């Protein structure tokens, strides 16, 4: 089959629309949350093992920059994943499935997620 259609193999030249970017970010944050369960389960196990373990986790969350960054990153991923998940549920219910509706929901997803991420940062730091 000899096709004369142009083939673009350079993905850096493709301009993805905002709904596509939010959908891709939704998948990425899901992977981040899955991997982040290792940190969350370690912290839960250590904090429930003994009073000393609880104090160690509490101290790490209060004074360790890397631990705070990981906690904020996980909360940020959770916030975006939650908001984008609601967007996907609305799409499954045939709400706003037009092109304009998709762009508007993607914009709302980014704004609400940004607010939640900032609030999570204030809470962690």
pLDDT value at residue 3: 74
Q: Map tokens 């959770």 to a residue.
A: 78
Its pTM stands at: 0.86
Cβ of 56: how many Cβ atoms within 10 Å?
15
What are the Cα distances from residue 59, in Å, to 26, 47, 56, 77, 106? 32, 11, 5, 23, 38
Closest CA to 121 of 46, 58, 70: 70
pLDDT band at 71 (very low <50, low <70, confident <90, very high): very high
Say yes or no to pLDDT of 1 above 70. Answer: no
């Amino acid at each position: 089959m000899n096709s004369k259609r142009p083939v673009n193999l350079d993905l850096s030249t493709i301009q993805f629309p905002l709904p596509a970017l939010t959908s891709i970010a939704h998948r990425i944050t899901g992977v981040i949350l899955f991997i982040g369960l290792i940190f969350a389960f370690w912290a839960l196990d250590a904090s429930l093992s003994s009073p000393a373990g609880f104090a160690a986790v509490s101290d790490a969350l209060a004074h360790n920059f890397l631990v705070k960054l990981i906690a904020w990153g996980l909360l940020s991923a959770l916030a975006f994943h939650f908001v984008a998940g609601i967007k996907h549920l609305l799409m499954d219910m045939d709400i706003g499935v037009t092109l304009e509706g998709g762009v508007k929901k993607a914009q709302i997803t980014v704004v609400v997620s940004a607010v939640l991420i900032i609030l999570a940062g204030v809470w962690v730091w």
